Structure 1
Amino acid sequence: MLINPNTSADTTAMMTAIARRTLGSSVRGVTVARGPRMLTDPAALRASVPEVVAAAREALAAGDCAGLVVGAFGDPGVAELRAFAGVPVVGLAEAACAEAAAGGVRFGVATTTPDLAEAIGRRIAALGLADRYTGIRLTRSQAGRLSREPEALREELAEAVRACVVRDGARAVVIGGGPLAEAADALRERFDVPVVAPVPAACRRIARELAQHDPAVSEGYGSGQSSGRGPGQPMWKLSP
């Protein structure tokens, strides 16, 4: 299950569609019951934690949830879920930053939320990646405006990615935000350095963790099927 910690159902649908490209049709997206439509400051990030926990408990109680992806770049609720979930739990920031930094690569973050810049830096430090972090670059326009203008969002994020590379020396750039997932997907072909889209990175990580968690789960993550199953059959079953 992919939990969207903000209350935008459109964002949930977008992130779920991207997740299904990696994991197949067995991904279910869930929107938290209460909170802001966008998480743009530390207070909103903290307030989303109990909502993420509540959504996860409901999913786990149904007995058909094999793993949890928290679809916000601040990873709200990830630590709390790991304390009780009993299934793999992955956050966008930890997955994307670890992927970008693999092999000692220096990486930056491009995003739209200036009020979360310090929180993102702290999260990266907590992940043990501060020595590879070149810093954050922000779009010129506010997140609220860019959420309504997809083309402007892509172009301003591209400028921020370029600044990470040219000014800061980053050799990989993470797009910092769940609601930026579609734009992140579109930017990957525009640069010579890796541009890490957070939702696919989280899906790749949870695929590996699911395979470790359940030895019966193995090949076929890209198509939503595992070896020995027929075409189109999911690797693990979730409710529609």
Structure 2
Amino acid sequence: MVLINPNSSTATTAMMTAIARRTLGPALPVRGVTVARGPRMLTDPEALRAAAPEVLAAGLRAMAGGDCAALLVAAFGDPGLTALRTATAGAGARGASGVYGASGASGAPGIPASGIPASGFPAPGFPASGFPTPGFPAPGIPASGIPTPGIPASGIPTPGIPTSGFPTPGIPTPGIPASGIPVVGIGEAALLEAAAGGTPFGIATTTPLLADAIHARVNALGLADRYTGLRLTAGAPERLSADPELLLDRLERAVRACAERDGARAVVIGGGPLGEAAEELHARCAVRVIAPIPAACRAITHLLTGRRTGGPAVR
């Protein structure tokens, strides 16, 4: 599995890769890659948008290597996730070990053998921003431009995808063919896991400027009826990330507020760079805490094997 860090911090990549390796064990090796450019932390909508083409480029490079079984986008906003799924969808017929075969054909329409067309990024309907062009339809993406894998805003699941949000083995999933390369985002995976079975869930995070984007993601996944709200930590995200003890304290307060004030029975920690704090909060909080990186690893395991491993499914 290739873990793509949309933040340009190699230290954060190493930390998240270590968490993924602990979750998956020896069965699925993990390689972490860092995007070529961008901010060290994604803390506002513009940074999130700018990260999308960088994630796409990193994913295409990983697939071109020929040894990529799955891709994990390790930022809570899931930048570039939809474009990567579009690129991998055409790779299914050749399998994970032969994304770009001897014929020279690419894994997605509009992508030559190099993996990156002259325009810089694939595919019709996906400009450099990584998001669909308004009025230019893209498969599986509603008019809002926000993808809804399996669970649209109506809340009615797509056939073959149960309410857990993960596909039924043997039934093709749009963008993730049975023989293709699964692409999972930590935000989507954590939210779907938290809401499984109709559980009321909240989100605790450090990035107030991304609050609207987080709410939109919840709505796009059809989870608004189970969403109890967002709780934000006090203090600048960059300052908190530089002080692990302070970060843990502020996140714990936010998690407790989600449970005690909002009625959440599960709380998602909203951020890949918050991965270590999320793991520590499991033991400090009575409410279920969903750490996004392990949740995404469980989703990938499920997509590859049809079962969940790597830790308690509720975490």
Per the normalisation by structure 2, the TM-score is 0.67
Aligned Cα root-mean-square deviation (Å): 1.3
Greater percentage in helix: 1
Aligned-pair distance for 1:207?
A: 0.5
2:65 maps to 1:62: yes
Query: How far apart in 2 are the matches of 1:210 and 1:77?
Result: 21
3-state SS of the aligned residue for 1:205? helix
Query: How far apart in 2 are the matches of 1:165 and 1:131?
Result: 16
Question: Which runs of structure 2 are paired with 1:135-214 in the superposition (5 Å)?
Answer: 135-212=229-306
Aligned-pair distance for 1:24?
A: 2.5
Question: Which runs of structure 2 are paired with 1:1-240 in the superposition (5 Å)?
Answer: 1-25=2-26, 26-85=29-88, 86-212=180-306, 222=310
The C-alpha deviation readout for 1:19-73, integer Å capped at 9, x for no partner, is 0011135100000000000000010000000000000000000100000000000
Aligned-pair distance for 1:145?
A: 0.2
AA aligned to 2:41 is M
Query: How far apart in 2 are the matches of 1:3 and 1:112?
Result: 21
Q: Would you identify which runs of 4 or more consecutive aligned residues in structure 1 move more than 4 Å?
A: none
Query: How far apart in 2 are the matches of 1:146 and 1:104?
Result: 32
The C-alpha deviation readout for 1:133-183, integer Å capped at 9, x for no partner, is 111000011100011100000000000001111111111100000000010
Say if 2:3 and 2:73, in contact at 8 Å, map to a contact too: yes
Aligned-pair distance for 1:193?
A: 1.6
User: What are structure 2's unaligned runs of at least 5 residues?
Assistant: 89-179
Greater relative CO, 1 or 2 (CA 8 Å, sep 6+): 1
3-state SS of the aligned residue for 1:134? strand
Query: How far apart in 2 are the matches of 1:206 and 1:124?
Result: 20
User: What are structure 1's unaligned runs of at least 5 residues?
Assistant: 213-217, 224-240
Aligned-pair distance for 1:211?
A: 1.1
Query: How far apart in 2 are the matches of 1:136 and 1:157?
Result: 12
The C-alpha deviation readout for 1:171-204, integer Å capped at 9, x for no partner, is 1100000000010000011122210000000000
Query: How far apart in 1 are the matches of 2:310 and 2:191?
Result: 21
- The count of aligned residue pairs is 217
AA aligned to 1:126 is A
Say if 2:23 and 2:294, in contact at 8 Å, map to a contact too: yes
Matched residues, percent identical? 66
Query: How far apart in 1 are the matches of 2:255 and 2:23?
Result: 24
Query: How far apart in 2 are the matches of 1:130 and 1:35?
Result: 31
The C-alpha deviation readout for 1:93-148, integer Å capped at 9, x for no partner, is 11111111111000000000000011001011111111111110000111000111
3-state SS of the aligned residue for 1:84? helix
AA aligned to 2:32 is G
AA aligned to 1:192 is A
AA aligned to 1:165 is A
Aligned-pair distance for 1:210?
A: 1.1
Aligned-pair distance for 1:222?
A: 3.8
- Which residue is equivalent to 1:228? none
Per the normalisation by structure 1, the TM-score is 0.88
